[in-house]
């Protein structure tokens, strides 16, 4: 394992209340404060049909200078899945697949716009293998072959693995399995990588040790470029219902959360991930968080846990 944490991206929209209740003053203070935390090189930001859910021009003028951005369309993908069960880049329905590919073409345009009109740059763009419960590898290969040919302004395309549609229990996202996604990346013969989210993997496996095994399997392919630390719980709690994708904190940072991402599994994840290019941190704000200082403390507490685990192994 490396002696220091790789470049780290913090999910700004998971911790910020400004995406549900627009508060440009809070967001304008929060974004640079997140980037100023030790080791943080940039932010994960959502694409929800456009650059920003409230004000794209505001975002372009306020994104911190020099920040690396990871753009995730997942909130938009889930919204579209809710209204059209055929929607997704892995859809066997050509109309549903085409709609998702067309949306990603718009994402690519906004990625180029960020590079041209702001002081930040997009490092990676996440792709997600919808539709829910009905995705297939073959159409995914077709989509990836096309999408990878576009101008992404230097951003790396990654498939972010979410929980797969499996028969043993109810799924949250219900996308393709990790092995199917790996197979599609290899079959597309394009410059694509893989990204794992610990919380989304434990939602799938229902077994924290199995997430460690999943990380090892991804590393063995040579495709893993990043890992996000984000938790989930087997029981209902202050962050939501059991097995929800609620971006729970690390267990030590908030013991009341019920998060399964404890110190031992952080250590195991770090050991298996090895020298990945980047890590992510995606945690929701605490229920009592109100101010920017509260939000920064929540993120800092989780980062401190990861660093303490590293120092102890």
The predicted structure's pLDDT at residue 2:
44
More reliable by pLDDT, 310 or 43? 43
pLDDT at 233 over 80: yes
Backbone angles phi, psi at 90, to 5 degrees: -110, 25
Q: What is the pLDDT of residues 9-68, one digit of tens each?
A: 999 999 999 888 899 999 999 999 999 999 999 999 999 999 999 999 999 999 999 999
pLDDT at 190 over 50: yes
State both tokens at 103: 């949306």
Q: What is the pLDDT of residues 142-187, one digit of tens each?
A: 999 999 999 999 999 999 999 999 999 999 999 999 999 999 999 9
pLDDT at 230 over 60: yes
State both tokens at 243: 């097995």
pLDDT at 226 over 60: yes
Backbone angles phi, psi at 8, to 5 degrees: -120, 135
216 CB burial (10 A radius; 0-12, 13-18, 19+)? middle
pLDDT at 97 over 80: yes
Mean pLDDT to the nearest integer, 96-107: 98
Q: How far is CA 138 from the centre of its chain?
A: 24
Distances (CA, A) of 117 to 48, 150, 156, 295: 19, 19, 19, 28
pLDDT at 4 over 70: no
pLDDT at 311 over 90: no
* Mean pLDDT score of the chain: 96
Q: What is the dihedral of CA 209, 309, 254, 162, to 10 degrees?
A: -40
The predicted structure's pLDDT at residue 104:
98
pLDDT at 1 over 60: no
pLDDT at 6 over 90: no
pLDDT at 3 over 80: no
Mean pLDDT to the nearest integer, 69-76: 98
- The span from the CA of 80 to the CA of 135, in Å, is 15
pLDDT at 216 over 80: yes
What architecture is the 7-312 domain classified under in CATH? Alpha-Beta Barrel (3.20)
The predicted structure's pLDDT at residue 155:
98
> Max CA-CA distance within the chain?
52
Q: What is the pLDDT of residues 195-212, one digit of tens each?
A: 999 999 999 999 999 999
Q: pLDDT grade, residue 310 (50/70/90)?
A: confident
Distances (CA, A) of 68 to 9, 31, 122, 193: 8, 12, 6, 17
Q: What is the pLDDT of residues 234-246, one digit of tens each?
A: 999 999 999 999 9
The predicted structure's pLDDT at residue 121:
96
Residues found in the chain = 313
pLDDT at 301 over 70: yes
pLDDT at 94 over 90: yes
- The span from the CA of 137 to the CA of 244, in Å, is 25
């Amino acid at each position: 394992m490396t002696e220091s944490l790789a470049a780290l991206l913090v999910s700004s929209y998971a911790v910020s209340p400004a995406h549900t209740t627009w508060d440009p003053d809070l967001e304008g203070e929060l974004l640079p404060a997140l980037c100023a935390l030790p080791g943080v090189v940039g932010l994960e930001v959502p694409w929800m049909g456009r650059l920003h859910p409230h004000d794209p021009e505001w975002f372009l003028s306020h994104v911190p200078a020099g920040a690396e951005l990871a753009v995730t369309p997942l909130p938009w993908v889930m919204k579209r899945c809710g209204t059209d069960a055929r929607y997704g880049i892995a859809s066997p329905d050509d109309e549903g697949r085409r709609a998702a590919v067309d949306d990603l073409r718009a994402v690519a345009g906004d990625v180029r716009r960020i590079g041209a009109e702001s002081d930040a740059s997009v490092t990676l763009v996440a792709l997600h293998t919808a539709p829910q419960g009905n995705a297939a590898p073959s159409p995914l290969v077709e989509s990836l072959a096309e999408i990878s040919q576009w101008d992404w302004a230097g951003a790396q395309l990654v498939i972010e693995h979410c929980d797969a549609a499996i028969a043993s229990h109810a799924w949250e996202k219900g996308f393709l399995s990790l092995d199917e996604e790996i197979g599609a990346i290899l079959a597309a013969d394009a410059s694509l990588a893989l990204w794992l989210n610990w919380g989304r993997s434990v939602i799938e496996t229902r077994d924290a040790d199995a997430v460690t095994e999943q990380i090892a399997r991804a590393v063995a392919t040579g495709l893993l470029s990043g890992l996000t630390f984000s938790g989930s719980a087997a029981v209902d709690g202050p962050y939501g219902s059991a097995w929800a994708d609620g971006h729970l904190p690390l267990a030590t940072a908030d013991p009341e959360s019920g998060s399964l991402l404890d110190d031992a599994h952080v250590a195991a994840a770090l050991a298996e991930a090895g020298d990945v290019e980047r890590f992510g941190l995606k945690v929701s704000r605490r229920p009592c968080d109100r101010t920017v200082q509260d939000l920064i403390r929540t993120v800092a507490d989780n980062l401190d846990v990861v660093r303490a685990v590293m120092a102890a192994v």
